[in-house]
Chains A and B, each alone.
Chain A
């Protein structure tokens, strides 16, 4: 399992609940923060001692399946050990590779931005409505900074990252990787330049917070400047993160779609937030499948989990939770439904080397853009050159 303290606590409670109901089963949990999680997984995989059940991510699924590390669960679905009868196909689709089920989605998500509408109101800025554009974002950010600022309050916490870029590529009808994963999927560097220019403009206008305001937080949503009312907008989060964000902030925040690209395509998609998978070394595959079934279908368990990983996939569970959801939970359920209206199909899982591409993007595109040390043109050309080299290894 990987993730925040909140997630650890909830998951542990569910495991305890399961062991109470099934006294013969003993489950021991191993936890790591998100950063260390994949490193630990890789080491355990190399030593052939992965836990029976592992949390999987769409990003790594292809890599792990390609290396025979995960067990095919379709047999357990047929035998009924893993009960997916209450789950619509769109929610399990992401876990299938070549008609074999390697991963069960335990929470659906969508790409989002977080906004503090009270701050918008205070600054006299109209809240965003679906369909707003990148231009609207820039103007709102500048106006927010101007009307709220003076004492270190800014419009937007920018994120010229790979997640936003992928979205922008989709809006341009393209994808980051070619189908065979051996080169970049887009031809024209202008797309990356335009994408980065949005952040550069916001930094120059003062609409975006300078890097020293948000670099400390890194990827910890609990420390994002929106939590301390230092920005009114946070770019590029996943819809489920609203719950952690709101509970740290202690005030209502809202989710909004990504800006629209004028004349562009739909960028959104419903993302299988997290998966549970069973490792192929596991001696207890059937027991593991039963636990995943419990995780998916038990209303009691999902009340504890409270959709922290994303919207539950079993219909009965989803409806029950939505009825009884906290305010943040309701917002998330409604947002995922909204995003679904603005979605088109998900792109294939990332190819091998994607993690290297992502550190390249962070180190040589995102950070230098935030610090104003590189122009979008230079960043785009440099990224193409180095990313192509990394992907060429897949040939």
Chain B
């Protein structure tokens, strides 16, 4: 009797296993398009680049030979341009991200009112971001801020001295930062959604208590919006570190490496100097830098991000 039950159970189990396996298989089949893409275009290249970063692979000649940590050691001890690229990128990130977020929030608050035609404005203001990383907008920027550009024409009317902004060692980086701030659309949309989610009663109660709009902004809007600010901050910081198009197309890293974004330096190493091994090592350092900054932001989040679900504050 007991044996029979055992056998029955066993049969049942294998049947279960088989159907479980079939279910899994169907699942995998459905996600296969994504899975294949992910494995061959993300995981595969990542593993390859990790391997290359320990070699002297120079793109034209295979096979590469293993040189251990040489690329990494060289980078930190013997490469001025690496440090220059780090400096430029940090200035770019710290200069553009806070300003971009502040500007995005400012515009979002303007749009969070019930006025006629606000929808049209919202759409219009989002347009620069759709064109965001595009080549066309970089070319336009180069033209606008060039020596014969529209910006100089306007400045000249007011008698302000003009220069070629994009090729001036003093102003080139600021010009690029300005471009990125102008592309505030996507954080703005996210802020707008966040603002809409703040219950109106809070403001009502506050104004009954006599809080002025500024105090309301500090005490209600900012804390209620902090998860959204947090999200935008993380995303924009990572994007900032990976910025490439603006520098590559407008200034090509120059003049005198003053706009040498990290990603541009990496590209130059890989495709102009054919030093793919070194470029791979640079890429992994960039990943680590992004990781560290993101971790840092997450660490500080506890003290300034308020979640409604945790009881709020």
List residues of chain A with CB under 8 Å of any chain B CB: 38-39, 42-43, 45-46, 63-64, 67, 69, 211-213, 215-216, 218, 353, 355-356, 359, 362-364, 367-368, 371, 373, 386, 389
Given A42-B271, A355-B273: A368 and B167 interface contact (C-beta under 8 Å): no
The chain B residue with its CB closest to the CB of A47 is: B59
For the complex of A and B, the 4 pairs showing the least CB-CB separation, nearest first, are A215-B167, A39-B271, A212-B164, A67-B60
Q: How far is the CA of A170 from the CA of B1 in the complex (A)?
A: 103
Report if B257 contacts A (CB, 8 A): yes
Give the chain A neighbours of B146 by CB distance below 8 A. 216
B255 adjacent to A69 (CB under 8 Å):
no
Q: In the bound complex, what is the Cα–Cα distance between A127 and B56 (angstroms)? A: 52
Q: List 9 additional A-B contacts (Cβ < 8 Å) besides A359-B273, A368-B256, A371-B169.
A: A46-B59, A67-B61, A212-B163, A215-B164, A215-B254, A356-B275, A362-B254, A363-B257, A367-B254
B225 CB contacts on chain A under 8 angstroms: none
A218 touches B252 (CB 8 A): yes
List A contacts of B257 (CB < 8 A): 363
Residues in chain A near residue B256, CB distance under 8 A: 363-364, 367-368, 371, 373
B59 touches A363 (CB 8 A): no
Question: In whole angstroms, how far apart are the Cα atoms of A43 and B59 in the complex?
Answer: 7
A46-B147 in contact given A212-B167, A359-B268, A367-B254 (Cβ < 8 Å): no
Contact A359 B272 (CB under 8 A): yes
User: In the complex, what residues of A have CB within 8 A of residue B268's CB?
Assistant: 359
> In the assembly, what is the distance between CA of A373 and CA of B254, in Å?
14
CB pair A69–B60 under 8 Å, yes or no, is yes
Which residue of chain A has its CB nearest to the CB of B148?
A216
Q: How far is the CB of B287 from chain A (nearest CB, A)?
A: 22
Task: Give the Cβ gap from A236 to chain B, nearest Cβ, in Å.
Answer: 18
What's the minimum C-beta distance from B313 to chain A, rounded to whole angstroms? Answer: 51
Q: Are A216 and B147 in contact (CB under 8 A)?
A: yes
* Residue in chain A with minimal CB distance to B60: A67
B61 neighbours in A (Cβ, 8 Å): 67
Indicate if B103 sits at the interface (CB-CB under 8 A): no
In the complex, A373 Cα to B62 Cα: how many Å? 41
Whether the pair A38, B272 counts as a contact (CB closer than 8 A) is yes
> Considering only CB atoms and an 8 Å cut-off, how many residues of chain B contact the other chain?
29
- Chain A residue with the shortest CB-CB distance to B271: A39
Shortest distance between the CB of B194 and any CB in chain A (Å) = 41
- Across the interface, do A211 and B60 meet the contact criterion of CB distance under 8 Å? no
Q: Which residues of B contact A211 (CB under 8 A)?
A: 167, 255
Which residues from A are CB-within-8-Å of B274?
42, 355
> Most A CB atoms within 10 A — which of B60, B163, B252, B253?
B60
* B-side contacts of A64, CB under 8 Å: 60
Q: Can you give 29 A-B contacts (C-beta < 8 A)?
A: A38-B272, A39-B271, A42-B59, A42-B274, A43-B59, A45-B60, A46-B60, A63-B60, A67-B60, A67-B61, A212-B147, A212-B163, A213-B147, A213-B164, A215-B167, A215-B254, A216-B147, A216-B166, A218-B252, A355-B272, A356-B273, A359-B268, A359-B272, A362-B254, A364-B256, A367-B254, A371-B256, A386-B80, A389-B78
CB distance from A223 to the nearest CB of B (A): 10
**Nearest-Cβ distance from residue B273 to partner chain A, whole angstroms:** 5
Contacts of A373 in B (CB 8 A): 169, 256
In the complex, A69 Cα to B60 Cα: how many Å?
8
Chain A residues near B275 (CB-CB < 8 A): 356
A residues within 8 A CB of B232?
none
A46 to B61, CA, bound (A): 7
Contacts of B272 in A (CB 8 A): 38-39, 355, 359
CB distance from B298 to the nearest CB of A (A): 37
> Would you call B129 an interface residue if the criterion is a C-beta within 8 Å of the partner chain's C-beta atoms?
no
- A213-B147, A359-B268, A367-B256 known; A45+B59 contact, CB < 8 A: yes
Q: Is the CB of A367 within 8 A of B60?
A: no
Measured between beta carbons, the chain A residues less than 8 angstroms from B174 are none
Q: Which residues of A contact B169 (CB under 8 A)?
A: 371, 373
Complex Cα gap A46–B64 (Å)? 12
Determine if A216 and B164 form an interchain contact, defined as CB atoms under 8 angstroms apart: yes
Known: A212-B147, A215-B255. A43 touches B167 (CB 8 A): no
Q: Chain A CB within 10 Å — which of B168, B268, B271 has the most?
A: B271
Residues from 224 to 275 in B contacting A, C-beta threshold 8 Å: 252-257, 268, 271-275
Minimum CB–CB distance from A151 to chain B (whole Å) comes to 14
| Given A213-B147, A216-B146, A367:B166 Cβ within 8 A | no
Residue on A with the closest CB to B254? A367
Q: A67 CA to B63 CA in the complex, in Å? A: 11
Chain B, 158-187, contact with A by CB distance < 8 Å: what is the 0/1 string? 000001101111000000000000000000
Check A371 against B255 for contact (C-beta < 8 Å). yes
Q: Scan B180-200; emit 1 where CB is below 8 A from any A CB, else 0.
A: 000000000000000000000
* Chain B nearest CB, measured from A227 CB (Å): 12
Tell me whether B60 and A212 are in contact (CB under 8 A).
Answer: no
**How many angstroms from the CA of A347 to the CA of B56 in the assembled complex?**
29
| Chain A residues, Cβ within 8 Å of B276 | 46
Closest to B164 in A: A212
User: Contacts of A386 on B, CB cut-off 8 Å?
Assistant: 80
Closest to B80 in A: A386
Q: Assess whether A212 is in contact with B59, with CB atoms less than 8 Å apart.
A: no
CB nearest to A46 among chain B residues: B59
Smallest CB-CB separation from A64: which chain B residue? Answer: B60
Contacting residues, chain A, for B147 (C-beta < 8 A): 212-213, 216
Please measure, in the bound complex, the distance between the C-alpha atom of A63 and the C-alpha atom of B169, giving whole angstroms.
34
A241, B78: Cα distance in complex, Å: 39
Contact residues in B for A213 (Cβ distance below 8 Å) = 147, 164
| Contact yes or no, B271 A43, CB < 8 A | yes
Are A367 and B273 neighbours in the complex by a CB distance under 8 Å?
A: no
B50-81 interface with A by 8 A CB criterion: 59-62, 78, 80-81
